[in-house]
Amino acid sequence: MKIRVNGTERTLDVDPEMPLLWAIRDVLGLTGTKYGCGEALCGACSVHLDGHVVRSCVTPVRRAEGKRVTTIEGLSAAGDHPLQRAWLELRVPQCGFCQAGQLMTAAALLEATPAPTDDEIDASMAGNLCRCGTYPRIRAAIKRAAGIKGDEP
Amino acid sequence: MTVTRRSFLIGLNLAVGGLALGIYPRDALAAEPAGLSPNVFVRIAPDGVVTIVCHRSEMGQGVRSSLPALIAAELGASLDRVVVEQALGDAKYGDQNTDGSSSVRERIDDLRRAGAAARQMLITAAAKQWKVKPATCAAAGHQVVHAASARALDFGDLVAAARKLAVPKPESLELRPMAELRAVLHPTLPLLDGPAFVEGKAQFGADVSLPGMLIAVIARPPVVGGTVAKYDADAALKIPGVRHVIAMPEPVAPWLFKPWGGIAVVAENTWAAMRGRAALDLSWNDGDNAGYDSAAFDDEMLASVRAPGTTRRQVGDVDAAMTAAARIVEAEYLVPHLAHLSMEPPTALVAIDGDQVEVWAPTQNPQGARGEVARTLGVAEDNVTVHVTLLGGGFGRKSKPDFVAEAAFLARETGAPVRVQWTREDDVRHGYYNAVSAQRLRAGLDADGKVTAWHHRTAFTPIGSTFDGVSDEPGDGDLQQGVLDLALDVPNVRAESCKARAQVRVGWYRSVYNIFHAFSVGSFIDELAAERKVDPRDMWLEIIGPAREVSLQELGIAKLGNYGHTLDDHPVDAGRLRNVIERVTASAKWDERAASGRFLGLAAHRSFVAYTAVVISVVADPVRTFRIDEAWISMDAGTIVNEERVHSQLEGGLIMGISNALYGGVTMKQGRTVQSNFRDARIARIRDAPRRIHTDLVASDALAAGVGEPPVPPVGPALANALFALTGKRLRAIPLAKALGI
């Protein structure tokens, strides 16, 4: 089957039921997308499918057929998406493992809601776990990327 | 991505953007025959590029920035000409186990001397060339400078002469004043791996692949020490992509870091391995631990702390004081096993080529991994090379190299490079859990309400059981964590340890036994305040007593482990504990809480020779009973190297403390872990994180203490105390969410 990953058409010869996560990681070799739970409970595997956030660990690869998949590697051409910049300016990551998923979910949030409130951020980011506890900086960085001035840490 | 072994190292060591420390596309492994290498941590090439080895593992604490920057500051190097190289597991670096909040606390002077040795050699070389006294020269900005004659030479220009000099003896080295280092290190060091993190280019354990590599997923016995009764290998082998079905070695107590047993399914990709495992149709012999039941064990531990234990700390006569007391306050607390739940589940890759073994793993303990792989394969440690990838969280789980040993065994059995991938369910069910615990505290109060007797009984499953199979009572090193080192201005004190027999693997978990000791003591002081109807802060300060260094005699103990430090270096300092309480309550406007209608909880704790105090504010919430709206944390950890990352540890430790207290714990039934994934093994989500966190570090020249773990212990009791302020209900069992029905 053919899927378009980060702007490039790729041909996959895999079990159509294989979760998109494993097709991305094990077959296409794009390792920025992470396995954290396998049951859509932690968000580490978040990618965009035609611009919408999906948890790739529970999305069969057949659902991506003929569609556009964007992973963290394709979020921006030069690592300079406003969220990526804000993430570095506010030094959000600790261990870094969940951050690709956090960024992909946040990017979709800002697409739909360019100036989110704290409550909207909490609702949209509810499915993305961070064991290091970077949540306050994630909130602040989303607001910074959105151009919202306020109570940054 | 498939990478060659060498390019992998470069990829890991040299981060991507200009923000990083190391921006030179240099092969970190290349020999530098003409370079200066006075010790294992520092190499300076003839072009002046300084390679600094980070011997500890990066798991979010920022150690790959902190330690190299510290060495560079002592050397006088410019960070934009420094390359950071991650150390292989090797005893030549000294202890590499990134555990116990020890990287700066234990190694700061060694690392400073590593930089100072190189600096002194460069200065000596320059002084010779200029025919001036070395003492008149200084190293700064990657140059040696002779200010009087306005001469300067780049480090690179001095390498050829410096490398001919004898390496100075450590005791002859002069270290820079800490203030000078601080000017360079503070306030903000580059986040070495930051750009790689946000671009998805950072390499964690599962991101390394080798040609011909296979992926293994293992079905492990649900009960510790259980064995396989039967399984259907053919069914698994029928799944496309499955290559091997292999029985793991059967586990024999003590558990140590040995593989857990079970059946491995080895496949061409992770999905095939998972499907193969699901097809195995396994049944088990559960063995000796099948009776482990958390509800029954709670009762067993409570019975244990209701009977006299072994006296471990004694001052005065507690029994007489209790008899004479006007009233007695008494409470029991329960804290369950806690699972690490790092976002990256354990994983490790092992390749065997002849008698050479190569390992890539997100390990906190590369020397331990090296030893365990050597033991598993029956080869010499010298034949085992351990590469440390980035760790997607560690929290103590990844200091146990059992998962690396599994990969080594399977690489040998299959003859191919094998990466073992733990699923989240494996991680929840087969961890090395924090000890489960019951605590009983009693205080005798005289007619004026003054506490005249303090009686603490603690029972928990000691980590020693994982190593000897029999320990059911703590050692002194265990009780230093909040029982023996607790400053008490009380004339009669007795602390006893009581028995608790482990029936799972128990291991270090961020701040370890401090969690339940801080929870019980920190809650109990708040209970005393409520009983006495006094301000909880005043109660804390009264119990701790006046600012002083508390002697062994006053503590009522013969010796104190003190995290490996002498009491001269790191006294039990009641003044520093008082100070963080006073700072955190001032910052939280504690005295105005009634007037401002706020519900605050306070707790403080000494651990890893650091002092931390926390205030948490909770507000009623129509849907979830309450939410945490604000939190304050003050810490005195003495000398600080990477100030900004310590603030991030305070934030993160606070949120991990919230996870522990609200949701913490796995429970056992019929020897099996009840929980399986994040739906029931819960951790804090973003809505649980306070909207505002105020972090405060005491500026101090005292010797460096730990910073990674000390933020965690006081959070649980501060939250329980805040909930008491809000609801009037005292919660004495973790997870608090259970009683709250959320």
Q: What is the 3-state secondary structure (H, E, C) of B418-437?
A: EEEECCHHHHHHCCCECCCE
User: Using a CB-CB distance cutoff of 8 angstroms, which residues of chain A are in contact with residue B16?
Assistant: 79
Are both B388 and B450 inside the same structural domain? no
Q: Looking at the 3D structure of chain A, how many domains does it have?
A: 2
* A86 and A136 housed in the same domain: yes
In the block, tokens 């980070």 appear at B54
Strands B437-445 and B451-460: antiparallel
Same domain for A68 and A90, yes or no, is no
pLDDT tens readout for residues B512-570: 999 999 999 999 999 999 999 999 999 999 999 999 999 999 999 999 999 999 999 99
pLDDT digits (tens, 9 = 90+) for B566-581: 999 999 999 999 999 9
pLDDT tens string A67-87: 999 999 999 999 999 999 999
| Cα B532 to Cα B26, B325, B445, B492, distances in angstroms | 67, 14, 9, 19
How many CB atoms are closer than 10 A to CB B531?
Answer: 14
Segment B371-397 shows an average pLDDT of 98
Let me know whether B34 and B154 are in one domain.
yes
Which residues neighbour B423 within 8 Å (Cβ) at sequence distance 6 or greater? Answer: A38, B217, B274, B345
Instruction: Give the minimum alpha-carbon distance from B684 to chain A in angstroms, rounded to a whole number.
Output: 8
pLDDT at B20: 30
ipTM above 0.95 for this complex: yes
- The verdict on residue B376 lying in a domain is no
The DSSP H or E segment spanning B628 is: strand B625-636
Boundary residue ending a domain (A24, A43, A73): A73
Pairwise CA distance, residues B56 & B88, whole Å: 10
**pLDDT value of position B9:** 31
Nearest CA in chain B to A119: B687
A19 and A40 within one domain: yes
- Model confidence pLDDT, tens digit, residues B289-327: 999 999 999 999 999 999 999 999 999 999 999 999 999
- Beta-carbon contacts of B80 under 8 Å, excluding residues fewer than 6 positions away, are B21, B23
One domain for residues B251 and B163: no
Tens digit of each residue's pLDDT (9 = 90 or more) over A15-33: 999 999 999 999 999 999 9
Domain presence at residue B135: yes
Terminal Cα-to-Cα distance of chain B (whole angstroms) = 42
**B683: which residues sit within 8 A by CB, 6+ positions away?**
A129, A131, B341, B659, B663
Task: Report residue B253 as tokens.
Answer: 């107590």
Nearest CA in chain B to A129: B685
What distance in Å separates the CA atoms of residue B61 and residue A94, rounded to the nearest whole number? Answer: 6
Tell me the average pLDDT across B331-356.
Answer: 98
User: Are B306 and B323 found together in one domain?
Assistant: yes
Chain B partners of A75 at a C-beta cutoff of 8 Å?
199-200
Collapsing DSSP states into helix, strand and coil, what is residue B408?
A: helix
Tell me, yes or no, whether B68 and B84 share the same domain: yes
Confidence of residue A150 (pLDDT cuts 50, 70, 90): low
A51, A73, A95: which is the final residue of a domain? A73
pLDDT tens-place string over residues B4-42: 333 223 333 333 222 233 333 344 444 457 899 999 999
User: Is B506:B435 a contact under the CB 8 Å cutoff?
Assistant: yes
Cα–Cα distance between B742 and B738 in angstroms, integer? 7
The pLDDT tens digits of the residues spanning A93-131 come to 999 999 999 999 999 999 999 999 999 999 999 999 999
The Cα B422–Cα B347 span in angstroms is 6
In a domain, B349, yes or no: no
Residue B720 has which token pair?
Answer: 């329980």
- The per-residue pLDDT for B32 is 58
In this prediction, residue A152 carries a pLDDT of 52
Mutant choice from B213, B268, B343 vs A, greatest count of A C-beta within 10 A: B343
- For residues B628 and B485, membership in a common domain is answered with yes
Could you list the residue range(s) of the whole structural domain that residue B232 is in?
212-287+363-369+381-421
The CATH number of whichever domain residue B415 belongs to comes to: 3.90.1170.50
**B133, two tokens:** 């006294």
Kind and range of the H or E run holding B335:
strand B327-335
**CATH number, domain containing residue A93:** 1.10.150.120
Domain count, chain B: 3
Q: Could you tell me the strand order of the sheet in which B151-154 lies?
A: B137-140, B143-146, B151-154
Give the chain B residue nearest A94 (alpha carbons).
B60
Please tell me the pTM assigned to this model.
0.96
Query: What gap in Å lies between CA B212 and CA B208, rounded to an integer?
Result: 12
> Across the interface, which of A19, A75, A94 has its CB nearest the CB of B652?
A94
The shortest CB-CB distance from A31 to any of B1, B198, B678 is to B1
% pLDDT > 90, chain B:
92
Each residue's pLDDT tens digit, B467-524: 999 999 998 889 999 999 999 999 999 999 999 999 999 999 999 999 999 999 999 9
What's chain B's average pLDDT?
94
- Alpha carbon distance B196, B176 (integer Å): 33
pLDDT digits (tens, 9 = 90+) for B708-733: 999 999 999 999 999 999 999 999 99
State which residues form the domain around A138: 82-145
Query: What confidence score (pLDDT) does residue B251 get?
Result: 84
Domain-located, residue A151 = no
**What is the structure's pLDDT at B482?**
97
**Given A24, A40, A73, which residue is the final one in a domain?**
A73
Residues B273 and B317 placed together within one structural domain of the fold? no
Q: Same structural domain for residues A109 and A129?
A: yes
- Separation of alpha carbons A2 and A9, rounded Å: 7
Instruction: Report if residue A153 sits inside a domain.
Output: no
Whether B346 maps to a domain, the answer reads no
